[in-house]
Each structure stands twice: as structure tokens, then as C-alpha cells.
């Protein structure tokens, strides 16, 4: 098996698994309990949150631990909009968001909020001019993913956040799930940031919302004491500890990892360029970890089946929206129905080898000609 679906999920590192096991064994008490083991667990929870903020260089934020990025996105978007709707009911997002972001805005639209989707340039980027044209006195939330999960588009987050701060009273949110461990990421100007551990070699079932304390949100889960007023429920300390471990490892030696993946991406693009009937959908300046391509003469499901039989793991669109008949993200970027219906997402890692890239290109070529 050759795994090229790292943007759907990554294999958990041994260190993350070991951290989870150790915390499960040694810090099993409920962090909400007032007895000595509970206080020890609560202290470990605070230390873990502080460690995550240190790794993000984000002092002063609150870490709201969640079950993953989907929950964090729902909490941030719905929680902020519902809390601040008296100030306005206008929201802005982009066409290249994760399904959990798009669905949250769709739910709010049904509740009477007005949602604008900002126009993007030919490479899928949101320009400050396009975003600025949408900002209004009643705009309360702008949400732009740092890196799109399907095409790897990198947004100019710092510029957009600065624009929102200068021209509106809106909060700026970013789903940074696909950015962590793929690019250098600064939270300056981001009031609400969301991510999930299983995208950077951590365990499934844990993620977080990093919240600037002045941005109040309405809880979406009621009842049950926790370490935060934003999200009820017994804190999952072992998962939180494992996420801090995974995050530290993901950010360690990041520049070398990025360079390695960039080399693999160039190699794969070069190989695919020599195969007739292949179109590359990811922009040239996308994160190198994500390469979206279309096999124009093959239905996407058929191509996935061919590759799966040969032992290659890739995705059609994203894992959270793979039931759709076409990729809305690819269609929005290219305007090409055929490319949108035949697109595949290949996602690379610093664990990927040149041999694996070459073997995949060979398999694609056989699939095209077979």
C-alpha cells in the first residue's frame, strides 16, 4: 500500500500514542474533580493548554478543546454569530472552505443571517479589494481558511485580517486545520482559529478552537462543567496531552519538512505533465502537500477504483464531501465541469518517498491508457 491521502488523515506518531497512553494511566482523574488526583489532572490540563499556546506563539488566547476541527468550526461560527447578532447579521466567507464551515454558514442563513461569499482571483486567493468591498457596518464575522483542504490554496491571511480590523468591527476567523505543519503560521489578527490533531500526526477525536478572550461566543453544548465556559463536557485530558505532543513534533524542523515535500511535489508535477489527458487544478503556489489533478477521460470513481486496486490511497475531493458528483471547489476555480467531475486529490508528506511518487505517476499513466 502506498498512502497518499495525508490531508484526509495522518498516521499518529508513536510519541502521540505514548503520550496518550501515559496520561490515560497516570492522569485518569476528572479534571473537574476537587480531590487531589482531580487537581493534578486539572493542572496538567492547564499546562497542556499553555504548551499549545506557546507552540503557536499565541499568548493570551484561550484553548477550547473540542472533538475536532468540525466541532470547533461549528462552535466558532455559530457561537460567535448567535452571541453578537444584535450588532449585525452579515457574515462573509469564501468558496473554498471545509464542509463544516460552509454548512455552519448555511445553517445561519436559514436562521436569517445574510452570508456573502467573497470573489477570488484566478488562483483562488481572496484579494483585500474584493473582501473590503463586502464589509459593512453590520458585518460581524469574516471566515477565511488559511489553506484550502482540496486544492491547497494559501490565502493571504495576515493581509485579510489586517483589512478586517481596519475597516470593520467584525471578528476574523480562520480554519487553520490544513495549515498546521504545512506552512509557517502566525495568528496575528486571527481572533478565532480552529484545527484538528489528526491532520498533523495526532490522534482522532481531539481538536481545538483558539479564542481571543474578548471575542465572546455562545456555547453550543449545554450542561456539564468543563475547563471553559465555551464548551461543556468532561475534559479529555489524554487526548489533549497527545495533541500537544503531536503539535510540537509537527512544528519541529518544519522548514526542512516543507522543502522535502516541495521537492516531491515538483517531481510529481513533472511526471504528470508528460501524461496526456491530465490537468493540474492546484495553483502553482499551493501548499506542496496538496496536489489536485483531473484525469479528464476517466470518471473520478473509476480512477479511484483503479488506483485502489493497485494499492494507492488518494481521495476524490475531501473525505468529508466525497459523496458529491463533482468538486464544487475545482469547478469554482476552473469553471470547467469536466475537470470538476474527474478530479482527485493527492496529498503528500515528509514521510512520502520519491519512489512512491514515481510509482503513483506510473499507475496514473496506466489508468489513462488502459
Using the Cα atoms of residue 91, residue 96, residue 101 and residue 107 in order, give the sign of their dihedral: positive
Contacts with 274 (C-beta within 8 Å, 6 or more apart), sequence order: none
- Residue 239: how many CB atoms within 10 A of its CB? 23
Of the candidates 320, 351, 359, 368, the residue annotated as catalytic is 320
Q: Do residues 10 and 201 make contact, with C-beta atoms less than 8 angstroms apart?
A: yes
Phi, psi of 130 (to 5 degrees): -65, -40
Helices (H), the chain: 14-26, 36-55, 69-83, 99-110, 128-134, 157-167, 237-251, 254-273, 300-309, 328-334, 337-341, 354-369
Contacts with 199 (C-beta within 8 Å, 6 or more apart), sequence order: 7, 9, 10, 69, 177, 178, 180, 181
Active site residue 313: no
Q: Is 130 helix (H, G, I), strand (E, B) or coil?
A: helix
Q: Is 190 helix (H, G, I), strand (E, B) or coil?
A: coil
Q: Which residues are catalytic?
A: 320
Amino acid at each position: 500500500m502506498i498512502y497518499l491521502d495525508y490531508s484526509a488523515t495522518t498516521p499518529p506518531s508513536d510519541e502521540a500514542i505514548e503520550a496518550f497512553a501515559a496520561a490515560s494511566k497516570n492522569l485518569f482523574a476528572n479534571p473537574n474533580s476537587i480531590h487531589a488526583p482531580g487537581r493534578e489532572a486539572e493542572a496538567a490540563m492547564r499546562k497542556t493548554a499553555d504548551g499549545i499556546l506557546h507552540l503557536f506563539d499565541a499568548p493570551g488566547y484561550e484553548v477550547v478543546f473540542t472533538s475536532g476541527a468540525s466541532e470547533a468550526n461549528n462552535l466558532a461560527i455559530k457561537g460567535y454569530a448567535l452571541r453578537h447578532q444584535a450588532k449585525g447579521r452579515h457574515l462573509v466567507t469564501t468558496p473554498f472552505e471545509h464542509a463544516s464551515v460552509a454548512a455552519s454558514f448555511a445553517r445561519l442563513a436559514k436562521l436569517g443571517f445574510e452570508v456573502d461569499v467573497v470573489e477570488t482571483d484566478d488562483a483562488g486567493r481572496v484579494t483585500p479589494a474584493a473582501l473590503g468591498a463586502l464589509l459593512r457596518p453590520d458585518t460581524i464575522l469574516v471566515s477565511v481558511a488559511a489553506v484550502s483542504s482540496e486544492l491547497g490554496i494559501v490565502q493571504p491571511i495576515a493581509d485579510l485580517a489586517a483589512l478586517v480590523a481596519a475597516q470593520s468591527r467584525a471578528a476574523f476567523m480562520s480554519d487553520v486545520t490544513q495549515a498546521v505543519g504545512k506552512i509557517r503560521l502566525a495568528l496575528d489578527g486571527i481572533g478565532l482559529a480552529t484545527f484538528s490533531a489528526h491532520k498533523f500526526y495526532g490522534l482522532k477525536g481531539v481538536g481545538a478552537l483558539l479564542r481571543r478572550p474578548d471575542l465572546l461566543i455562545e456555547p453550543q453544548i449545554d450542561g456539564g462543567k468543563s475547563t471553559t465556559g465555551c464548551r461543556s463536557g468532561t475534559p479529555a485530558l489524554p487526548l489533549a496531552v497527545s495533541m500537544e505532543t503531536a503539535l510540537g513534533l509537527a512544528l519541529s524542523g518544519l522548514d526542512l519538512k516543507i522543502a522535502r515535500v516541495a521537492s516531491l511535489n515538483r517531481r510529481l508535477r513533472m511526471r504528470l505533465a508528460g501524461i496526456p489527458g491530465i490537468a493540474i487544478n492546484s495553483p502553482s503556489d499551493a501548499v506542496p502537500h496538496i496536489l489536485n489533478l483531473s484525469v479528464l477521460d476517466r470518471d473520478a470513481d473509476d480512477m479511484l477504483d483503479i488506483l485502489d486496486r493497485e494499492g494507492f490511497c488518494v481521495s476524490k475531493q475531501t473525505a468529508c464531501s466525497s459523496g458529491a458528483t463533482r468538486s464544487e471547489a475545482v469547478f469554482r476555480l476552473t469553471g470547467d465541469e469536466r475537470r470538476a467531475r474527474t478530479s482527485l486529490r493527492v496529498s503528500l508528506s515528509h514521510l512520502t518517498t520519491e519512489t512512491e511518487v514515481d510509482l503513483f505517476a506510473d499507475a496514473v499513466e496506466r489508468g489513462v491508457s488502459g
